[in-house]
Amino acid sequence: MEQQAAMAASKPRVIVKHPALAMASMLIGAFVGMFSETSLNIALPSLMVSLGVNTATVQWLVTGYMLVIGVVLPLNSLMTKWFTTRQVVIFGLLDFLVGAVIAALAPTFSVLLFGRMIQGIATGLILPLMFTVAMQVFSPAKLGAAMGACAMVIMFAPAIGPTLTGLILAKLSWRWLFWAFVPFLVAALIFALTSLENVGKLSKPKIDIISILSSVVGFASIVTAVSFASSHGWGSPLVLGLLLLGVIVLAVYTYRQVHIKTPILNLKIFATPAFRAGALMVMLDFGIILSAMYILPMYMQKGLLLPVAMTGIIMLPGGIVNALVSAVSGRLFDHFGAKWLTRLGFFIAIIGSIMLLMTSTHTAVIFVIAAHVVLMIGCPLAMSPAQTHALNALAGPTAGDGSTIMNTMQQIVGAISTALATSLLGIGEAASHASAQGAFTAGVHVAVYLPLVLAVAALIITFTTRSFKTER
């Protein structure tokens, strides 16, 4: 029996010639997608001046992108049952190329936003496929390391994005932020055409139009409502109406997914305790990262009055630490499981958030770097173990559903947390009677309470979940 178990652990679910090369196109595509998700954060103050828009409007370049990802992601499972892995990935990469060119040539804010949202379609297709394919082509014995590599892509791109953006903007126009994607996407296309093999079988199930429409309307309504709250206020009839619509439609969507024979998303897997706990931790972790990475570059430029190039350099140490911890955390999971890694990770993230609350208009740069580094130790330390813990609880086709669900909710939580951070930033800024610099810093302090609350909530989950008891 032990010999059979060892043999099973040494074999992947799907045999491909070169697993690493098969993953290359998706890893590059996911990196570019996640880089694009946060690369504009550091450029938002410049874009506000260049395009003549305010904070509430310019944040749509972030939330609009994540909104499209969140709308497309629930459809990913259906797409992979109608189209091959190669077809979906190649279409996604070509779609991203088109969006990048449109954004780079955009004459107005509206066209720029349109290009960004086209890019969101590609990220929504490629991101969950990366995890699904990794689960299939790597053996269980190597799965922790493989998932760690995937997590490193997701965690490293948002962390390094501000640094590269700052360096680009120091010498070039913001348009080069989009032209820079092109060579990476071309390389990913070459890997997809030469090395990517099909994973999974095409069943071509019946398309449920009601589920698709309710998914799109529900998620879009909630994200749009939270985004509008920063400019219209939380008591606005428009905001409250959209929130109510989103909740009602998503309730219908959830009920339908649980009761129809071929759901777009198999929400029944939330009945698995390990998946439920791991997925919640991943969502909260992503919300911490996105909200903090949205707030921090703007604080440096408007609170500390640092130039954009300097802001990018200050973000670099945290980005490097993020990549290193992401790479190590997957291997640590193979030896220690998720319980202590997630607890330690979220505790460290709480410390990083508290450090950001201690900043002012005169805070030393070294303290800001230290706060960012601490945050970038905690978040990736928890991310990969939580994700692997969740997906390991699923078997067969449900692993694909689990990956799609987690990635969908990550983007929805990311879009909502960014919009909430914008709203809290505005509330804190309006309540302050200090100078423009001091008022903005006061707004930052109010906004930082969001990642702090998310980190505390995630830490509580690590101590209350019973699924850790089943770990080896």
DSSP codes of every residue in 139-176: -HHHHHHHHHHHHHHHHHHHHHHHHHHHHHHHHS-TTH
Non-local (6+) Cβ contacts of 420 within 8 A are: 226, 291, 450
Tokens 């423009």 -> residue: 436
Query: Which among 4-18, 109-123, 125-139 has the top mean pLDDT?
Result: 109-123
> Which sign, positive or negative, has the C-alpha torsion 172, 116, 42, 52?
positive
Residue 128: the pLDDT is: 74
Cα–Cα distance list, 368 to 10, 249, 359, 363, 429 (Å): 45, 42, 8, 7, 20
197 within 8 A of 17, measured Cβ to Cβ: yes
C-alpha dihedral over 86, 92, 93, 95, to 10 degrees? 140
Tens of pLDDT along 164-217? 888 888 888 888 888 988 898 999 888 888 877 677 676 677 777 888 888 888
The mean predicted confidence, pLDDT, of the chain is: 82
Rounded to the nearest angstrom, the gap between the alpha carbon of residue 422 and the centroid of all alpha carbons in its chain is 17
For the segment 100-119, the average pLDDT, to the nearest whole number, is: 90
- Count Cβ atoms within 10 A of the Cβ of residue 393 and give its class: 0-12 exposed, 13-18 middle, 19 or more buried: buried
Tokens 């570019």 -> residue: 32
DSSP structure class, residue 42? G
Rounded to the nearest angstrom, the gap between the alpha carbon of residue 232 and the centroid of all alpha carbons in its chain is 26
Q: Percent of the chain, pLDDT > 90? A: 18
| One-letter amino acid of 148 | G
Rounded CA separation 344/347 (Å)? 5
Min mean pLDDT across 170-179, 249-258, 450-459 is at 170-179
387 versus 244: the higher-pLDDT residue is 244
pTM of the predicted model, to two decimals?
A: 0.76
- Tokens in use for 471? 């770990």
Rounded to the nearest angstrom, the gap between the alpha carbon of residue 200 and the centroid of all alpha carbons in its chain is 25
* H/E element, 100: helix 85-105
Whether the predicted pLDDT of 395 surpasses 80: no
Non-local (6+) Cβ contacts of 17 within 8 A are: 197
Residue 3: the pLDDT is: 46
> How many C-beta atoms surround the C-beta of residue 305 within 10 A?
10
Whether the predicted pLDDT of 7 surpasses 50: no
Min mean pLDDT across 70-74, 104-108, 370-374 is at 70-74
Residue 357: the pLDDT is: 92
70 within 8 A of 286, measured Cβ to Cβ: no
- Tokens in use for 278? 């791991």
Nearest residue to 43 via CA among 413, 279, 309 = 309
Phi then psi for 70, rounded to 5 degrees? -65, -30
Nearest residue to 358 via CA among 368, 369, 345, 347 = 368
Confidence of residue 446 (pLDDT cuts 50, 70, 90): very high
For the segment 320-331, the average pLDDT, to the nearest whole number, is: 81
Cα–Cα distance list, 377 to 53, 454, 455 (Å): 35, 16, 13
| One-letter amino acid of 58 | V
Euclidean distance between the first and final Cα of the chain, in Å? 18
Tens of pLDDT along 144-160? 667 667 767 766 676 67
Confidence of residue 18 (pLDDT cuts 50, 70, 90): low
For the segment 217-230, the average pLDDT, to the nearest whole number, is: 82
Confidence of residue 343 (pLDDT cuts 50, 70, 90): very high
Residue 129: the pLDDT is: 79
Confidence of residue 8 (pLDDT cuts 50, 70, 90): very low
Rounded CA separation 124/373 (Å)? 29
Residue 61: the pLDDT is: 84
Rounded CA separation 262/426 (Å)? 44
What three-state secondary structure class fits 97?
Answer: helix
Rounded CA separation 381/377 (Å)? 6
Q: Percent of the chain, pLDDT > 70? A: 87
